[in-house]
């Protein structure tokens, strides 16, 4: 979700104004995912590197997350949206951690969409975290190191047991992954758009899905071996 700051700057407003508009874009994209029958949406809201932003901006973002959660979590649950947070939470305030835990434990009659919000997340952290968990289990004699394979490794990553993303969208014009889901993006279709996040609406989202539908996903096979057109289930 890149481009909040520039969006605000174009309007001669502070960066905080862009982040608030960013929350509205999150809402629109969640609604668009439900309409498009996307089952999993993972949003990169705050990277482990974002702590190095000016203190006032970090404080504003924390405040915004807390207010957005308190305001929206109940309504999202009522609409069949399950919230999950991935990332290292210990650095967040007790209030924010409690609001995250509470929204994750909401009971849902039916789940239409799972939204993972990556906060204080880094793809390298996720991989190291999984390696540590497996090393501890091996030291305790619970697993045989030679039995570790990709499937068992993946179970220790923070997205587990959800599937890896079909489509990665980065707004704001930069063409890089910036330490997002490094393990999971191995075969994900990458889509980069110059649209700034606050302007990323349903039309822009559907343009990304249309581009995704044109891609041929071969997973190392030949074009003749794979003929059916994919549908994005995890964005
Ligand atoms: C990057 O754009 C954006 C962020 C670091 C914050 C993203 C947060 C939101 C969109 C709010 C999400 C809220 C919830 C509840 C999930 P930037 O500010 O770096 O933009 P720039 O590159 O134009 O400066």
Evaluate whether 113 touches 42 at the Cβ level (below 8 Å): no
**Please, what is the angle between helix 55-78 and helix 94-104, to 10°?**
20
pLDDT tens column, 155-210: 999 999 999 999 999 999 999 999 999 999 999 999 999 999 999 999 999 999 99
Residue 214 has pLDDT above 80, yes or no: yes
The atom number, within ligand 1, closest to the CA of 47 reads 5
Mean pLDDT across the chain, nearest whole number?
95
β-partners of residue 121 are 47
Which among 192, 190, 187 has a CA at the least distance from the CA of 168?
Answer: 190
Residue 103 has pLDDT above 80, yes or no: yes
pLDDT tens column, 106-128: 999 999 999 999 999 999 999 99
The atom number, within ligand 1, closest to the CA of 8 reads 23
Residue 218 has pLDDT above 90, yes or no: no
User: pLDDT confidence of 138, banded at 50, 70, 90?
Assistant: very high
Mean pLDDT, residues 214-228 taken together: 83
Ligand 1: does its nearest atom lie under 6 Å from the Cβ of 76?
no
Ligand 1: does its nearest atom lie under 6 Å from the Cβ of 45?
yes
- Enumerate domains of the chain plus CATH numbers: 4-127+157-216 (3.40.1180.10)
């Amino acid at each position: 979700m890149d481009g909040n700051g520039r969006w605000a700057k174009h309007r001669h407003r502070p960066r905080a104004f862009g982040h608030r508009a960013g929350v509205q874009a999150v809402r629109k994209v969640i609604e668009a995912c439900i309409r498009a029958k996307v089952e999993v949406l993972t949003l990169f809201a705050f990277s482990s590197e974002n702590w190095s932003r000016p203190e006032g901006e970090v404080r504003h973002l924390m405040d915004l997350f807390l207010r957005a959660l308190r305001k929206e979590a109940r309504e999202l649950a009522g609409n069949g949206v399950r919230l999950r947070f991935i990332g290292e939470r210990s650095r967040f305030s007790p209030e924010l951690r409690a609001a995250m835990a509470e929204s994750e434990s909401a009971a849902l009659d039916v789940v239409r969409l799972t939204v993972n919000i990556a906060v204080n997340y880094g793809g390298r952290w996720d991989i190291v975290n999984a390696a540590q968990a497996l090393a501890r289990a091996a030291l305790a004699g619970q697993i045989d190191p030679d039995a570790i394979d990709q499937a068992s490794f993946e179970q220790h990553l923070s997205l587990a047991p959800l599937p890896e993303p079909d489509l990665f969208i980065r707004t704001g014009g930069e063409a890089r992954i910036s330490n997002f889901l490094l393990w999971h993006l191995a075969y994900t279709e990458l889509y980069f758009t110059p649209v700034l996040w606050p302007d990323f609406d349903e039309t822009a989202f559907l343009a990304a899905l249309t581009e995704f539908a044109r891609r041929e996903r071969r997973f190392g096979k030949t074009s003749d071996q794979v003929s059916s057109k994919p549908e994005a289930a995890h964005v």
